[in-house]
Amino acid sequence: MKQIKIAIIDDHDLFREGIRLVLGQIEHFEVVFDTSNGLLFLEFLQNSFPDVVLMDINMPVIDGVETTRKAIGINPNLNVIALTMFSDTTHYTHMINAGIKGFILKKSNKYELQQAIQTVYAGGNYFSQEILQKMAFRSVNFSTGPDRMTQRELEVLDLVCKGLTSQEISDKLFISVKTVEVHRANIFHKSDVRNIGELIVWAIKNNHFSIA
């Protein structure tokens, strides 16, 4: 298996060093760059392209949102995962619009971090389950056109994005599991996505939802 080259951008030295130590214990993972400064990372990108970037959101000089936006401007294929705290929810929409591929909590364990990196490296999106449960989605765009979500589909979309199962959605909306599955199928078809992570990114980028 090819080595996955990883960059870490976080202004807390001890945290960054801890992440580097953990990643060094995982086979096929290689940390090729780490810094506390987004500007230094942008300079690094002039000559090198890591496979996956772990990006802090709140940083001095240039924050994670702007760093991500500029980095993806340099390399549109860059895979960025946001390192986040629960208190960072106000920045989630901005990070998604900047082009990140997922979110992982800073308190996550080694195995979830490994899963997030491998998922994003393979072309997917990754959201920690705790983050999905924390997110508060708010409908900002509703249309009943043939290719747009219906009101019921938007309701199901909200709950799917929060990680609820079909049975849980059925109980919450007082509809059958079979009906939920039909709505889920329609949602995934209309959005042309493969998983919940991609669905969340699609919904926000297409202004169906914002994150409160």
Q: Which two tokens stand for residue 69?
A: 């936006």
Helix 151-161 to helix 196-205 angle, to the nearest 10 degrees? 130
Q: What is the pLDDT of residues 157-186, one digit of tens each?
A: 888 887 788 999 999 999 999 999 999 999
Q: What is the pLDDT of residues 58-90, one digit of tens each?
A: 888 899 999 999 999 999 999 999 998 866 667
For residue 195, the model assigns a pLDDT of 78
Helix H or strand E encompassing 56: strand 52-56
Closest CA relative to residue 183, chosen from 145, 208, 154 = 154
Residues 6 or more apart in contact with residue 167 via CB below 8 angstroms: 177
Domains, the chain, ordered by start = 4-133 (3.40.50.2300), 135-211 (1.10.10.10)
Q: 211: which strand partners?
A: 137
Which amino acid is it at 70? K
Helix H or strand E encompassing 181: helix 177-191
Average pLDDT, the chain: 86
The pTM of the full predicted model, rounded to 2 decimals, is 0.78
For residue 14, the model assigns a pLDDT of 93
